[in-house]
């Protein structure tokens, strides 16, 4: 199918959507004299050891990015579901001092946010490529709110313009798949093994987790 846009002050855009099976679901476009190929299907990143951005090795993913995916306590449901890490990890939006605390397992990565802080620790990866991360958020008071985030990491490409030229850029994207709130000042060791996420109960003051749970995440 051809899409032709005419009578426009912009460059003529001709977009060719080809048979998905033949071109592997790529989108082929022509802008002016430039030809671009974009892949809408994200390529999941499973191995964090060699990844450009990681939860376990430098360059660490900024904890504030995960806090944005978590959303506000006063809201329900998901608002922000994906973020371009390539442009966000060291941006002004997520500015703050980042520290890394080595533990017996994966490190705890922490970032200052105004009067408070946010942090995370990697739990593991499912068979299908979903990464499981435990996060903590403090706004400056006594509350420390804990969540389990299920996210995917992927690479794709986008079309960018500086007002004069168009160019194809690679993106490293984090996407929220689901979340499990554990409440205020949760105390417990969350584990993931053989497809089972084990969340022990907690006797914390404000914790939502008053009974143990086992969740299948494949």
Asked if residue 14 is part of any domain, the answer here is no
Asked if residue 85 is part of any domain, the answer here is yes
Surface-to-core class of residue 117, CB atoms within 10 Å of its CB (0-12 exposed, 13-18 middle, 19+ buried): buried
| Token pair listed for 153 | 């990491």
| Token pair listed for 17 | 């959507």
pLDDT score recorded for residue 22: 40
Asked if residue 128 is part of any domain, the answer here is yes
Asked if residue 30 is part of any domain, the answer here is no
Instruction: Output Rg (C-alpha) for the chain, integer angstroms.
Output: 21
For 151, other C-beta atoms within 10 Å of its C-beta total 22
Report the SS3 class of residue 97. Answer: coil
Asked if residue 83 is part of any domain, the answer here is yes
pLDDT score recorded for residue 56: 96
Q: Write down the pTM of the prediction.
A: 0.78
pLDDT score recorded for residue 137: 95
Number of domains in the chain: 1
pLDDT score recorded for residue 188: 87
Asked if residue 196 is part of any domain, the answer here is no
pLDDT score recorded for residue 161: 78
pLDDT score recorded for residue 104: 82
Domain residue limits at 122: 40-185
Asked if residue 214 is part of any domain, the answer here is no
CB 116 within 8 A of CB 138: yes
Q: What is the pLDDT along the chain (218 residues), one digit of tens a residue?
A: 333 333 443 443 333 333 334 444 454 454 444 555 555 566 889 999 888 999 999 999 999 999 999 988 778 778 889 999 999 999 999 998 999 999 888 999 999 998 899 999 999 999 999 999 999 999 888 889 999 999 999 988 887 778 888 888 888 999 999 999 988 888 888 999 989 999 888 765 555 566 777 788 86
CB 172 within 8 A of CB 153: yes
pLDDT score recorded for residue 53: 94
Contacts of 32 (CB under 8 A, 6+ apart): 11, 12, 166
Helix (H) or strand (E) holding 199: strand 196-199
CB 173 within 8 A of CB 45: no
Q: Are strands 2-5 and 13-16 parallel, antiparallel or unpaired?
A: antiparallel
Asked if residue 21 is part of any domain, the answer here is no
| Token pair listed for 78 | 């998901």
pLDDT score recorded for residue 35: 55
């Amino acid at each position: 199918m051809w899409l032709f846009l005419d009578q426009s002050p912009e460059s003529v855009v001709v977009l060719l959507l080809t048979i998905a099976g033949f071109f592997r679901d790529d989108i082929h476009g022509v802008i002016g004299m430039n030809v671009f190929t974009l892949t809408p299907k994200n390529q999941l990143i499973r191995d964090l050891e060699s990844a450009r951005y990681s939860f376990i090795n430098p360059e660490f993913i900024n904890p504030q990015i995960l806090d944005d995916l978590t959303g506000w306590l006063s809201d329900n449901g998901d608002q922000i579901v994906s973020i371009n890490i390539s442009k966000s990890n060291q941006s002004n939006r997520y500015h703050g001092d980042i520290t890394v605390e080595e533990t017996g397992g994966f490190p705890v990565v922490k970032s200052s946010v105004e009067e408070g802080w946010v942090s995370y620790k990697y739990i593991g990866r499912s068979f299908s490529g979903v990464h499981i991360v435990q996060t903590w958020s403090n706004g400056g008071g006594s509350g420390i709110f804990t969540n389990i985030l299920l996210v995917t990491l992927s690479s794709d490409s986008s079309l960018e313009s500086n007002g004069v030229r168009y160019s194809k850029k690679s993106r490293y994207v984090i996407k929220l798949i689901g979340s499990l709130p554990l409440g205020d000042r949760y105390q417990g060791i969350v584990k993931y093994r053989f497809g089972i996420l084990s969340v022990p109960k907690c006797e914390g003051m404000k914790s939502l987790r008053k009974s143990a749970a086992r969740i299948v995440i494949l």
